[in-house]
Amino acid sequence: MDIKKIEVPIEKIIISIMTKYFRITNNENSQLSSEDIKGRENILKEVKVNGLFLWIDTSKDNNHTDYIKNLISNSQIDEPNHKKVLLYILSVETPESKEETQLQAYIKDSWQLATLDAAEEYFKEIQSITNAKIIGPGYETMDLKETKALLRILKAESINVVTNDQFVLVPAKSIIKMAIPVDQKNIKATQCENCKGNKKNCNYC
């Protein structure tokens, strides 16, 4: 199994970043203020999105097969086509923060979040997993405590992504997820009473 590295080209996703930024900041007029423009320029000049991904063939014995199969078994899919699943991590790399106002910090945070969302969308498209079932620590059916094990599998320290004692990723604008190829008709709606996700990231809680 080969872990592959990816750097998402910001220039290819800038339109998507802007669209997501307007949504995140509830900017219905889609107009950029001078501070918004500065934030966009910083994204273009200073921000990088690095990632790692690994296709895992669960039909073959390897160090991670049983662990990955167990995660899949909890994913609420009737008949997943999961001979191969994709484990991936994406992280927004930014320079150290300078002294800034509360507004500047909010704008920077919003641009970075929009960048991460757009980068994941781009990555899913080039890996042809836009219709896959996506699960991850604190997302859908996976417990946050799985974060450390998944980071070890991907050797995330190679792109300077770690987790703290609360299983929060550092840098903060990072994600680690698993894509399970599946027919959409076999996906069950996640039942709230069985969900192991983080309520802070849920649209319904």
Q: Which domain holds residue 143?
A: 4-201
Determine the pLDDT at residue 98.
Answer: 75
* Cα four-point dihedral sign 175, 48, 17, 105: positive
Spatial distance between the Cα atoms of 165 and 130, rounded to a whole number of angstroms? 32
Spatial distance between the Cα atoms of 170 and 161, rounded to a whole number of angstroms? 6
Summary mean pLDDT of the chain: 85
Determine the pLDDT at residue 201.
Answer: 47
* Cα four-point dihedral sign 139, 188, 153, 17: negative
Sequence-separated (6 or more) residues with CB below 8 Å from residue 95: 46
pLDDT top residue among 155 and 183:
155
Percentage of the chain with pLDDT > 70? 84
Threshold 0.75, pTM exceeds: yes
Read off the pLDDT of residues 83-111 as tens digits, 9 standing for 90 and up: 789 999 999 998 777 788 899 899 999 99
Give the CATH number for residue 49. Answer: 3.40.109.40
Instruction: Look at the chain and report how many structural domains it folds into.
Output: 1
